[in-house]
Amino acid sequence: MRPLLPADPAAIGGNRLLGRLGSGGMGTVYLGRSPEGVLVAVKVIRADHAADPAFRARFRREAQAAGGLTGRWVVPVVAADPEAREPWLATPFVPGPSLAEAVGGYGPLPARTVRILGTRLAEALAEVHTAGLVHRDVKPGNVLLAPDGPRLIDFGIARAAGATTLTAADAVVGTPGYLAPELARAGGPAAGPAGDVFSLGCVLAYAATGSGPFGGGHAAAVVFRTVHEEPQLGELPPELREAVGGCLRKEPADRPTLGELTALLGTDTGGEGSAAAADWLPAPLPRIIAERSTRALDLPAPEPTRIDAPAPARPFTRRRLLAAGAALAAAAAPIAWVTTSRPGGGAPSAGADRDLPSLTLALQADLTGPGRATGQAHERGMRLAVARHNARPDADFRLALRVADDGGDPQRLKQAAAELLADPAVLGLVGPTWDAAVPELAGACLTADLTLALVSVHSPENTQALWRTVCATRPTDEGLGLPVLHYLSRVRISRRTAVVEDAANGAPAWQVTRVLQQSPPAQGSVSVHRVADAGSGFGATVRALTEARAEAVVYAGTSPQRAAELARALADAGFPGPRVALQHAMEPAFLTSAGQAAEGWVFSALCTDPLALPAASEFVAAHRSAYGEPPARWATEAYDAVGLLATALTGLEGEVRDRAGLSRRIFRTTYQGLAKTVAFDTRTRALTGDALAHLYRAEAGAFRYLGRYPDVRADP
């Protein structure tokens, strides 16, 4: 569970919210406490989805039907409001791990446990079907494990993929690898009970073997194998093959009914008594469930929110604004782009020769604190982009840049943001350059209707639901998992991958852990080794992953120093396999601290190397001329952010070029940048495009760019 964000409500439908359980394209799931003191999971649907009348009608109908479910193995809807601006529903909270988490972290389940799992999920689905519902997305992540048996969640109420409707007939709804072949194309037959039976067979195969029957990798490849190839059941225990194989037949009519499946799984499923129920799961899962239950019950109910009258704000006088502007301008002298200069050294003056309006963009960054290298890269890239725009003969406005330094300090962040937002000339803002600053700055920009372009920082999955003026120009951290998956599946194949999830000295990169658990490299297995204490070394972890015969190690942490410590421990143990980390650890401190042990480490990153981009040659030359060195990490992406904002402002020709206009136009703008094409889904406002991530390798005391991850086919 993660803490509530500043923009989250304190309560929904009388349920006091305690934290966030997850978020996605459809909305956010909160942990709440009902007026009766019962813990509930509250799912809130985003308003843009609810704007579709057909969506709302289906939500109303299916929530009502699901509210009538009373079976032991389903998690029913206990409250809902389909008429709210953001419709919501509440279900009892189940503190146990999902099947995906259990198998990913502790390995396949025994055959007896899988048989019990299958019969009880079949019973749950039978009740769902009797109620007139079809689940549509039976998968390991939607099966929770409780002490007495599994619980099936999310039965067809808020599922969508590529469509604004819930269950439209022309929408492909489901998860690749667990989606029935007849449902794997738009316009196919409507989802029915047989599709849920197929998905259940996939779930049972995963539970028993640790991998899906149609492998992993890219979604399109998984769907292709599902439709055209036979399932991979070689490691399935013999007593499960008839039942699971029957579920996975291509033709819906050839699959067993749920009653027939129960008979195939056998009658020895643990009985209904408490003693039988208590031992259906292998160790250590019962202990983990008990610990989570204890933690959940210990959660306090938050105090009701009080809003005190604010103290009178100190007004922004003209003198204060001019003084602040002069101080910033002194540190932000314009830089000419020398590659656009004319013979004799004079810069082009096409823009300056005409009486053009001046539009101001701003940068808020850490320029003097711990993240000053990234902040400086932003500033340099943006200054060169502004100079380039102003040198264009076809420009119908000039750009000005205002820069504010927050030093990576929360208090300075607020002060700098207040001064920038108080300047009506500022139409768009780039920044911040440190992750923890995003909620504060995004909330302030939302209030001011100011577009905030994120370049290097991570943004929550539901950013647009929280702050509609935030424009994320880089993928979320989940995007870091794809290069890792590609590298360990296609370049250095690993069928037993160990993920070291390090929470010391910073948050663990849990998004990448989730990606690898859901789609293991090379269709193999993933073991997760969690380290919580900064005082703990990695000796025990390395021994554990060695005993597990790991073929590759992924460091899912954010500390370069801790990554270096792991590198040394692996080198001391003589670990021969590939070692992979994420961009957070791709810092000079890793190279310095790891020494020779850094050699050969591969890094997944969301930033490109402009030195490897032919289209960026002029930018690189201009940067060398202006600053005496090549562009640093994120300078190219910051340069592109200015181009995106300028293109959006250009698109407002004939309209008012103001904050409101830019915040509307930006998500309808496509910009061909140096690093990538920047474009957005017009419905979700999420960044679109493929191959937005890259691979680097530590070699000879530097990070060598290998390329966009799909283009990397072999080790250099």
Residue 8 is predicted with a pLDDT of: 85
Statement to judge: residues 233 and 255 lie in one domain: yes
Residue where a domain terminates, one of 43, 65, 93:
93
Query: Does residue 307 lie in a domain region?
Result: no
Query: Which percentage of the chain shows pLDDT scores above 70?
Result: 84
Which pLDDT does position 201 carry in this prediction?
98
Q: Which residue has the higher pLDDT, 309 or 576?
A: 576
Give dist(CA 211, CA 208) in Å, integer: 8
Q: In angstroms, rounded to a whole number, what is the distance separating the alpha carbons of residues 82 and 54?
A: 12
Per-residue pLDDT tens over the stretch 183-228: 876 556 778 899 999 999 999 999 999 999 998 766 777 887 898 8
Residue 73 lies in a domain: yes
Nearest to 460 by CA among 475, 445, 448, 449: 475
| 42 pLDDT higher than 50 | yes
Question: Average of pLDDT values for 114-119?
Answer: 96
pLDDT at 456 over 60: yes
pLDDT band with cut points at 50, 70 and 90 for residue 27: confident
Rounded CA separation 334/402 (Å)? 10
pLDDT bucket at 427, cuts 50 / 70 / 90: very high
Are 106 and 238 part of one and the same domain?
A: yes
Q: How confident is the model at residue 491 (pLDDT cuts 50, 70, 90)?
A: very high
Please, what's the largest Cα pairwise distance for the chain?
Answer: 92
Among candidate residues 670, 634, 657, the one with its CA nearest the CA of residue 374: 634
Return the pLDDT at 268. 57
Does residue 332 carry a pLDDT above 70?
no
Mean pLDDT, residues 69-74 taken together: 87
pLDDT category at 170 given cuts 50, 70, 90 is: very low
- Residues 362 and 426: their CA atoms lie apart, in Å, by 6
Instruction: Check which CATH number belongs to the domain holding 457 and give it.
Output: 3.40.50.2300
Rounded CA separation 34/486 (Å):
44
Q: Contact, 416 vs 406, CB < 8 A?
A: yes
Is the pLDDT score of 51 beyond 80? no
Looking at the structure, do residues 23 and 159 belong to the same domain, yes or no?
A: no
C-alpha angle 436-439-445 in degrees, rounded to nearest 5: 130
pLDDT one-digit tens code per residue, 648-661: 999 998 788 999 99
| Statement: residue 16 has pLDDT above 90 | yes
Q: Cα separation of 95 and 90, whole Å?
A: 15
Residue of higher predicted confidence among 535 and 633: 633
190 & 336 share domain = no
Domain of 407 in residue numbering reads as: 318-475+613-685
Confidence tier at 515 by pLDDT (50, 70, 90)? confident
Q: What CA–CA distances, in Å, run from 163 to 25, 137, 171, 517, 554?
A: 11, 15, 6, 26, 34
Among residues 45, 67, 93, the one where a domain terminates is: 93
Please check whether residue 303 lies inside any domain of the structure: no
Question: In angstroms, rounded to a whole number, what is the distance separating the alpha carbons of residues 150 and 143?
Answer: 6
Q: Which of 201-215, 311-325, 406-420 has the lowest mean pLDDT?
A: 311-325
640 has catalytic annotation: no
Domain boundary, last residue among 55, 76, 93: 93
User: Rounded to an integer, what distance in angstroms lies between the CA atom of residue 358 and that of residue 401?
Assistant: 10
Report the domain count for the chain: 4
Residue range 496-523: average pLDDT? 84
Which CATH number belongs to the domain containing residue 3 in this structure? 3.30.200.20
The rounded mean pLDDT for the chain is 84
Q: Is 50 exceeded by the pLDDT of residue 313?
A: no
- Same domain (yes/no): 654, 525: no
**Mean pLDDT score, 132-149:** 90
Q: Which of 650, 505, 662, 491 is nearest to 580 (CA)?
A: 491
3-class SS at 28?
strand
Which amino acid is located at 73 in the chain? W
- Enter the pTM of the model: 0.56
Q: Are residues 334 and 221 in the same domain?
A: no
Q: What confidence score (pLDDT) does residue 364 get?
A: 98
**43 within some domain:** yes
Residues 545 and 570 in one domain: yes
Residues 345 and 290 in one domain: no
- Residue 690 inside a domain? The answer is no
Please report whether residue 716 resides in a domain: no
Percent of the chain, pLDDT > 90? 56
Q: pLDDT at position 623, please?
A: 96
Assigned domain for 306 exists: no
Pair (430, 382) in one structural domain: yes
Mean pLDDT in residue range 277-299: 74
Residues 79 and 200 in one domain: no
| SS3 at position 104 | helix
Highest mean pLDDT among 7-16, 135-144, 698-707: 698-707
Note the pLDDT tens digit of each residue in 380-392.
999 999 999 999 9
Least confident of 2-6, 649-653, 706-710: 2-6
Lowest mean pLDDT among 366-370, 598-602, 679-683: 679-683
Tell me the three state secondary structure of residue 47: helix
Same domain, 645 and 559: no
Q: Are residues 268 and 186 in the same domain?
A: yes
**Residue 264 resides in a domain:** yes
What's the mean pLDDT in 704-710? 95
Does 353 score more than 70 pLDDT? no
Which range of 18-27, 75-84, 165-174, 268-277 scores highest in mean pLDDT? It is: 75-84
Active-site option among 48, 81, 137, 196: 137
Average pLDDT of the segment spanning 302-330: 36
Q: Is the pLDDT of residue 177 over 50?
A: yes
Instruction: Say yes or no to pLDDT of 1 above 90.
Output: no
